[in-house]
Structure 1
Amino acid sequence: MIPTQDPPLPGGDAGATAALVERLFREVYNGQAFDLAEQLFADDYVNHQPGAAPGISGLRQWASTMLTMFPDLTGTIEHMVVQNDRAMVFVAWHGHMAGTGKELNSQTANLYRVRDGRIAEHWSVFDYSALVPFGITPPDQEQPASEPDWHASPAEQENLRLVLKVWEEVMQKQNLDYADEHYRADYIQHNRFAAQSGGGLAGMKQFFAGLFVAAPDLTGTIDHILVQDDFVALFSRWRGREATSGRELKLHTADLLRIEDGRIAEHWDVFDYSAVAQFGIIPPPR
């Protein structure tokens, strides 16, 4: 919902939120100091990651499983957007399988909500395509959504409104003409698969035009959205059916958009290629 008037600017220490998430990756995940989990996570911590056991014990169980498979696993934060008490991070994971040395390169996007200086809630988007060769079966990534936080500066609120409206017009109503006024002509696409359709706004429109032909009822719905300065980060779920076969498409993505002069200028994402493998779509090499 887009508010008709600006809410007051409130609480939520973005700097403390960012520092807490950075510490989580530096000390707990990469440093494997899991004894710190009780300090960093709330006692009633809720993890919405599909298949994860609940609470801090579930976090330890997940970490133990992954580190048994990939003892040198590390996660590098490539992008972070922080708004008040929430942080969304785009993470590149790298490691080698125990016993074989087979290399893993994977991507996730993680959304954390902080309460009283500790992580209280977590959502995620995984690209499971890199994990399938290691025997991991991709789960349904459906997770509960959240409302936009309109406690932001006026400029940030405008960026939120822009992205929400673009998703409504372009990704739900498939009105590609709307993109002409809201994307820069020199728009930069970092998704390797989408970039194959060409550069700039023209390439973006060609990519989505092809998707809408292949799946005429395809829609993208925003589940979570954060804003920080000129960046908007979001989780989306996509639904549709292939025109020729009627096969259902269910896809979850995380998107990071850079806004410049009131237009979308640049895009990064985490894209679960395992969800579209049945349609012959594979990730281009990094």
Structure 2
Amino acid sequence: MSTTPRTSLDGFHATKTAQQADELARAFVAAVSAQDYAAFDTILARNFLSYAVEGVRSRTALKKYYAGLHQSFSDLRFEVHENVGVLVENDLIALRTVVTGTHTGDYAGVPATGKPIQTSVSHIFRFRDDRLVEHWQVMDTYRILVKIGRLPGVAAQFQQLLGVPESPEGIFVEKAGTTFDTPRLGRPATADESRAVGRRLYDGAITTGVAEDVDALAEGYIQNTGWTPDGRSYFGNAWAVGRGAMPDGRAVQAHVVAENDRVASISVWDGTIAAAGTPVDFASADFLRIEDGVAAEHWDTVDYVRLYQSFGLLPQDA
């Protein structure tokens, strides 16, 4: 009997189209790791466009972008975060990737340090006719830049502002989360139910800034990416502080993908930090596992460089 944990390829998807979309996204991730840019021409449509904070990239420009990362980091690998899985809804695919490598070439003006790096990149793709046609990406470059000494580690200062325990070395401690095949109790959630829970979460403390508005979270809520400890009270209290700092701030969900007991979204944030008058301008990607009508578990990828700039913890030219 195999002891390999199940993944989203193992019976999670209800349709053959969704299964093929999962395989297509995985082929893209494998091509990035293998520097197989010829494979891009069969995976990505000729009119493919990729959107990120740095701008819009064509298929050719995306090849150059990943080639540049490989020049900066030897043994660079993008791997599907299997505890999260690959989600498919209609013509959209969502997944989170864990990125590792060794800093052996110039990156952001920093010569090789030989230090290992690890971060996350989250993706939403649109697919058509067995090709990926659009791509939205959120990458946490902050973890890389701190590790190679380009930026100071300020995550603990941010946590001080939120009133939660501080992470060491100025980088949030990340957990893999529960495995995809962990037995669940109760009736399985539908995509519509999962989407509704995600909406309730955003309409709760994230929008109101009221610490008690956390009914969309499980009592034993698991926060895998470390900005707050586990538990919904920490989440609510932190958002009360965060919203107090930017009372006109909004998280606008640009894309949402729900499948079974999972929901993912990419959001853009805007508003103003009231005390300093600085604009809020960053993106985040969130993945939730839904259980018994509430969010039991959360993974995210956040553009922390721009978030910390908004809060005055990093200079604007970082």
What pairs with 1:139-154 in structure 2 (closer than 5 Å)? none
Question: Which structure 1 residue ranges, 5 or more long, are not aligned?
Answer: 1-9, 138-152
Q: Give the Cα–Cα distance (whole angstroms) in 1 for the partners of residues 56 and 212 of structure 2.
A: 45
Distance 2:150 2:189 in 1: 44
Work out whether residues 94 and 106 of structure 1, in 8 Å CA contact, stay in contact via their aligned partners in 2. Answer: yes
**1:64 has 2:67 as partner:** yes
Cα deviations across residues 133-155 of structure 1 (Å, max 9, x unaligned)? Answer: 66999xxxxxxxxxxxxxxx992
| Cα offset, 1:43, TM superposition | 1.4
Query: Alignment partner of 1:30: what SS?
Result: helix
1:280 Cα deviation (Å)? 6.1
List, as ranges, runs of 4+ consecutive aligned residues in structure 1 with deviation greater than 4 Å: 133-137
2:300 equivalent among 266, 269, 273: 269
The one-letter amino acid of 1:37's match is F
Note the C-alpha offset of 1:86. 1.8
Question: What is the rounded CA distance, in whole Å, between the counterparts of 2:244 and 2:56 in structure 1?
Answer: 40
Amino acid at match of 2:131: R
CA pair 54-12 structure 1, distance change in 2 beyond 3 A: farther
| In structure 1, distance between residues paired with 2:191 and 2:277 | 40
Note if contact 2:201-2:217 (Cα within 8 Å) is conserved in structure 1.
Answer: no
2:276 matches 1:245 = yes
Q: CA–CA distance in 2 between the matches of 1:129 and 1:214? A: 22
Q: 1:231 aligns with which of 262, 271, 282?
A: 262
Partner residue, 2:23? 19
Of the three residues 71, 84, 95, the one matched with 2:90 is: 84
Q: Between the two proteins, what is the percent identity of the paired residues?
A: 25
Residues 160, 218 of structure 1: alpha-carbon distance in 2 compared, 3 angstrom cutoff: same
1:90-239 map, 5 Å: 90-98=96-104, 100=112, 101-132=114-145, 155-180=190-215, 182-195=216-229, 199-239=230-270
Change (3 A) 1:266 1:53: closer
Distance (Å, rounded) in 2 between the aligned partners of 1:38 and 1:228: 28
Match in the other structure for 2:76: 73
Instruction: State the TM-score, normalizing by the size of structure 1.
Output: 0.79
Change (3 A) 1:277 1:53: closer
Secondary structure class of the residue paired with 2:222: strand
Report how far residue 12 of structure 1 moved.
7.9
Shift of 1:251: 2.1
- How far apart in 2 are the matches of 1:45 and 1:173? 38
Displacement of 1:104 in angstroms is 2.4
Q: In structure 1, the residue corresponding to 2:34 is in which secondary structure? A: coil
Q: Deviations over 1:107-138 (max 9, x none)?
A: 1101111110111110111112134466999x
Q: Post-superposition shift, 1:105? A: 1.8
Give the counterpart letter for 2:92 in structure 1: R
Q: Given the superposition, is the C-alpha separation of residues 232 and 37 from structure 1 closer, same or farther in structure 2, using an over 3 Å criterion? A: same
Alpha-carbon distance, 1:36 to partner: 1.3
Q: CA deviation at 1:89?
A: 1.3
Aligned-residue CA RMSD in angstroms? 2.7
Map Cα deviations across residues 207-249 of structure 1 (whole Å, 9 max, x no partner): 1111122222222121111111111111112223223222222
Tell me, yes or no, if the aligned pair for 1:13 and 1:85 is still in contact at 8 Å.
no
Q: CA 1:175/1:246 → structure 2, altered by over 3 Å: closer, same or farther? A: same
Three-state SS of the structure 2 residue aligned to 1:96 is strand
In 1, the alpha carbon distance for the partners of 2:129 and 2:218 equals 40
Listed one character per residue, the Cα deviations across residues 137-189 of structure 1 (whole Å, up to 9, x for unaligned) are 9xxxxxxxxxxxxxxx9921122123223323433343544423x22211111
